[in-house]
Structure 1
Amino acid sequence: MGIDIRKAVPLDAASACRLLRRSIEQGCEADYRGHPGVLDAWLGNKTPENVATWFASSTNFAIVAERDGELLGLALLTQAGKLSLCYVQPEAVRSGVGSAMLAAVEQQARAWEIRKLHLHSPAGAAPFFERHGYTNAGLDKACYGLECNLLWKALDVVVGEPAGQESARKRFCNCSQ
């Protein structure tokens, strides 16, 4: 029984919103505990209406992960190279869902010719991204007030060529390295 990754559609918004809220409330409790108001601010824009808008935007790439019809995760990439959402149901953490979504998002970023992805991650999730090649640039304050890790990853993209094809062109300095 594999994980199915597909493009998110506005009709997924209600169940995706429930997943987001549950993942944050339960999976990130250690990150926001002791920070009054952070949880409310973090959840403040997580409404079915907002999620539907995010999914419908042509400048976003939103995906969901399912197994046997059950929604297990969702991720959202912007054309600016920001991984805005990457959440997994608490009981599905460490089952390959996050890794599968991250691979799909990175593939889309390459197709959009994005050279670097970035994201804010609570401390509890930062090691996941680091294991997938993301560099931790240190602490930064997220828009909802929590100090998060700012992570980034350079992607192997050759502008103007299909993703995955090797380029025979040399670098600007004509060196081979």
Structure 2
Amino acid sequence: MNARLATPRDAEAGSSVLRRSISELCHADHAGDPAAIAAWTANKTPDSWLAWLAQPGASLFVIERATEIIGVGMVDGGGTILLNYVAPEARYQGVSTALLKAMEDVSAQHEVSMCLLESTKTAQRFYIARGYGPLEGYSSMVMAKPLAGKLADHPKPKQTDG
């Protein structure tokens, strides 16, 4: 498995991973509703991929196994994790964890003190197990994790019982 920054050449395969992950793995969130799946995947296209690559400060990552893309993650310049999806056939193989580490590392390199994200129901336990907690004053799906042991002037995550 290899994590790397995405390129325009990855647009078709990366977009496919996003759409397949949502439609096949996120049943707890969309309950198989075709309209909900269509709305969620509407911007998971090669054209959107190219726009994401052009966003200033953002980092779009892929995980490859051999030459096949099996994971996609994206974090903006402020440490907000925007994407973290894995190909269905690669689930439970450390792909999402590797993406999360790459996104946290690049955020720390940009001197961001906390990563934020809005979790799906499907991924909530995954994030809690990796140190994320619900952000005080927000829905339980908005989660945060301090990076490198430092907290700045950001809202604090709520304590969770695990």
Give the match for residue 157 of structure 2: none
- Counterpart pick for 1:153 among 145, 155, 159: 145
Task: Judge conservation of contact 1:5–1:100 (CA < 8 Å) in 2.
Answer: yes
Give the match for residue 172 of structure 1: none
Distance in 1 (alpha carbons) for counterparts of 2:41 and 2:72: 16
Residue segments in structure 1 that go unaligned for 5+ positions in a row: 141-147, 159-177
Give the match for residue 160 of structure 2: none
Deviation at 1:59, TM superposition (A): 1.8
Q: Find the structure with the greater CA-based Rg.
A: 1
The answer to which of 127-136 and 28-37 deviates more is: 28-37
- The aligned amino acid for 1:15 is A
TM-score, L = length of structure 2: 0.84
Deviation at 1:36, TM superposition (A): 6.9
Task: Judge conservation of contact 1:134–1:153 (CA < 8 Å) in 2.
Answer: yes
Matches of residues 42-61 of structure 1 in structure 2 within 5 Å?
42-61=40-59
1:126 to 1:50, Cα distance in 2 relative to 1, 3 A: same
Task: Judge conservation of contact 1:5–1:64 (CA < 8 Å) in 2.
Answer: yes
The list of structure 1 runs, each at least 4 consecutive aligned residues, that deviate by more than 3 angstroms after superposition, is 34-37, 137-140
CA deviation map 1:109-165 (0-9, x unaligned): 00011111111111111111111100024874xxxxxxx81111111267xxxxxxx
- Counterpart pick for 2:70 among 68, 72, 91: 72
TM-score, L = length of structure 1: 0.77
CA RMSD of aligned residues (A): 2.1
Say whether residues 1:129 and 2:127 are aligned partners. Answer: yes
1:56 to 1:11, Cα distance in 2 relative to 1, 3 A: farther
Task: Judge conservation of contact 1:114–1:157 (CA < 8 Å) in 2.
Answer: no
Percent identical: 34
Distance in 1 (alpha carbons) for counterparts of 2:112 and 2:23: 31
Q: What secondary structure, in the 3-state scheme, does the structure 2 residue paired with 1:37 have?
A: helix
Q: What secondary structure, in the 3-state scheme, does the structure 2 residue paired with 1:14 have?
A: helix
Deviation at 1:104, TM superposition (A): 1.0
Q: What secondary structure, in the 3-state scheme, does the structure 1 residue paired with 2:85 have?
A: strand
Task: Judge conservation of contact 2:25–2:88 (CA < 8 Å) in 1.
Answer: yes
Say whether residues 1:18 and 2:10 are aligned partners. Answer: no
Matches of residues 79-118 of structure 1 in structure 2 within 5 Å?
79-118=77-116
